[in-house]
Amino acid sequence: MTYALPAPRRPRLRTTGPVWVVLRLHRVALWTWTAVVVASVLVLLWLYGPGADAALRHLAACTAPGCEPVGGAWGRYKDLYELTAAPIAAAPYAATILMGGICIGRELERGTAQLMWAQALSPARWLATTLAVPTAWFTAGMVPLVALHHLVWSSGPLPRRDLPWHDPDLFATTGTLPLTRVLLGLALGALAGVLYRRAATGGLAGIAVLLVTGVLGMRYRASLWPTATDTGLKALRPPSDAHVLEHGAVLRSTGERIGNNWACVDADSAADLRRCTEQFKDFWVTYHPASHYWPIQLLESAVVLALTGAVVAVAFRVLRKHAP
């Protein structure tokens, strides 16, 4: 009598391990982020194509002196673009709340993390996995979202109308800076979670993200790259796309330098300009031209990445100190 051997079973996809645990525990938040990204990308693709064409036709029809386009295709174009900027601007704070309040703080508060540690998963590996999964998920969504957002801005009518390159909101939602801010939010959330071990710590870390990015953007951004300076009458007409930092004049009578003086800049005629300039012997303007966009973006991103690395190192150190 012969017996047939059972057919070998095909290996099945393994759905165990710490990565799958993190995915299953936080799948609602991660899939919500995915839905937001997909919806925003679809809107941005429309803005890049039909939306931009309609907005340009609307602007071209506004030919009368002093004409300002309001509503219509241009208004819809601008409103939708600003709407797609919202998830990019909010992503660092959402990442902070997810990491600090849900992924780490809540799991430590409930004891879920300690249970995983008791099952041969070291605290360091648990924290690394808990950080890696949301980081990969957020990065995968931010890359196409920010790239399309930047493409729509740079190729459409927005820079010529209301959004110059140095606009603070635009600068924070284009280039490399948005992605590094998300990484900083994840790192600060992780640190707050291991420090306080409560679900409410995500909000505290969000305040830290706001303070750090606000100080960098408002206080130090303009000094990250050497400025350009024009003197003489050329200083009265800086490039239209420049980010002017200081405009000054030197009095002819006393030689006193007056900073932030915009005299003669708005002269209506050559005669008015000549009469105005008679009281000054020199002018100067300090500014960042549009070509400084990428150097400033990359330098500020590097600073944020360095802070992120330091915060992550502190989070692991704190966990090793307090973990059993």
> Residue type for 281, please?
K
**For 155-212, what is each residue's pLDDT tens digit?**
877 766 678 899 998 999 999 999 999 999 999 999 988 888 877 777 778 888 889 8
**What average pLDDT does the chain have?**
82
pLDDT value of position 76:
87
Q: What percent of the chain has pLDDT over 70?
A: 81
pLDDT confidence tier of residue 115, bands split at 50, 70 and 90: confident
Instruction: Indicate the pLDDT class of residue 272, thresholds 50, 70 and 90.
Output: low
pLDDT attached to residue 67: 65
pTM of structure = 0.83
Please answer whether residues 209 and 115 qualify as being in contact, where contact means their C-beta atoms are separated by less than 8 angstroms: no
pLDDT tens, position by position, 130-163: 888 889 888 999 999 999 999 999 887 776 667 8
Q: How far, in Å, CA of 87 to CA of 138, rounded?
A: 11
Dump pLDDT digits (tens) for 24-78: 767 787 888 899 999 999 999 999 988 888 888 877 777 666 666 777 788 888 8
H/E stretch holding 231 reads strand 228-231
Q: Token pair for residue 282?
A: 């020199």
Please state the φ and ψ torsions of residue 144, each to the nearest 5 degrees.
-70, -35
Pair type for strands 228-231 and 243-251: unpaired
Element (H, E) at 66: none
Give the separation between CA 199 and CA 105, rounded to whole angstroms.
5
Could you give the angle at which helices 27-46 and 72-96 cross, rounded to 10 degrees?
160
Q: Which has the closest alpha carbon to 131: 98, 106, 109?
A: 98
pLDDT at res. 196: 82
pLDDT above 90: percentage of residues in the chain: 32
The conformational region for residue 186 under phi > 0 = left, psi -120 to 50 = alpha, else beta, is alpha
Kindly indicate the confidence band of residue 291, based on its pLDDT and cuts at 50, 70 and 90: very high
Q: Give 287's pLDDT tier (boundaries 50, 70, 90).
A: very high
User: Which amino acid is located at 301 in the chain?
Assistant: S
Q: What is the pLDDT of residue 38?
A: 95
pLDDT surpassing 80 at residue 270: no
pLDDT of residue 282: 80
pLDDT at 12: 47
Pick 192 or 282 by higher pLDDT.
192
pLDDT of residue 11: 47
